[in-house]
Amino acid sequence: FESSLSSLQAAPFPEVALMSLVGGVDSLSLRHVRVSLSSSAAAPIAPSPAPPQAPARLRALIDIPVEATSLPAVIGGRRLGWIVIATDPADAIDEVWRRVRAQIGADVALGVLLLLASSLLVTVALRPLPSAADALARLEAGDFQARAEVKGSREFVEIATRINALGAALAALSASNEKLLASALDAHDEERKLIAHELHDEIGPHLFALRAQAATLRRRIEAGDLREGAAAALEIGRSVEALQSHNRRILSTRRAAALDDLGL
């Protein structure tokens, strides 16, 4: 300003030149500084023409004091006023607020991007889970041919492998049970055939002989032939003994082997 004032000493209209100088410097939008022309060195500082951007609470919290310097404006040996150079706290606070707001916006954008990336990663990582759940549901329903897709991370690959091994084991066990059931049915049929054969071929003739011998005994008793009646009774006793023998043999063949091992 001192060099500028020196160049204005020969100006034809020093007041106009001075006001133009001060207005030109103030219009340069200097950071955090206001320049004005005043008639007194102790004149109050004019407020910033731009409306404040920062919230009132932030401005009250920071509370930067205003500092001012006054330079005498002397042209041609005549004092035309005072050039007041003062700090502009509102401008400084607004600049801080703009930086904070920009940083908050960048942090929010970064947080959203991280959230989207995390969601995408979780979705990709959990993609094999429905296949494993479907395979387990089908196994529970009795479909032992169900298999899970072996893909994804190492943990999901291990889970799918174990599910598939479980399915294979259940399928093998089911096939074994079916074979065992078929064998039991075949054994049951063979047992029925064997019992029918023994009743028809071994027990049946003895029962027929008993019926015939009982009829003979009745006729001998009615005729009073005791000797022939005694012979018929003897034959009945022999047939009963034969029946008892066959009965013991049939029972012994159907006796559980574990009873013999236990001494029963």
pLDDT digits (tens, 9 = 90+) for 153-200: 888 889 889 999 999 999 999 999 999 988 888 888 888 888 888 777
Residue-wise DSSP of 184-195? HHHHHHHHHHHH
Which residues lie closer than 8 Å to 81 by C-beta, 6 or more apart? 18, 37, 38, 39, 73
Is the pLDDT at 16 greater than 70? The verdict is no
> Within 10 Å of residue 94's Cβ, how many Cβ atoms?
20
Which residue is it, tokens 């091992």?
Answer: 261
Average pLDDT taken over every residue of the chain:
77
The whole model's pTM is what?
0.42
Is the pLDDT at 259 greater than 80? The verdict is no
Percent of the chain residues past pLDDT 90, beyond the cut: 8
Collect contacts of 145-148 with beta carbons under 8 A, ≥24 apart: 145/171
On whether the CB atoms of residues 107 and 84 are closer than 8 A, the answer is: no
Which stretch of 22-36, 184-198, 203-217 has the lowest confidence by average pLDDT? 22-36
On whether the CB atoms of residues 89 and 65 are closer than 8 A, the answer is: yes
Which stretch of 14-28, 57-71, 159-173, 188-202 has the lowest confidence by average pLDDT? 14-28
Is the pLDDT at 139 greater than 80? The verdict is yes
**CA angle, residues 123, 124, 129, in degrees to nearest 5:** 80
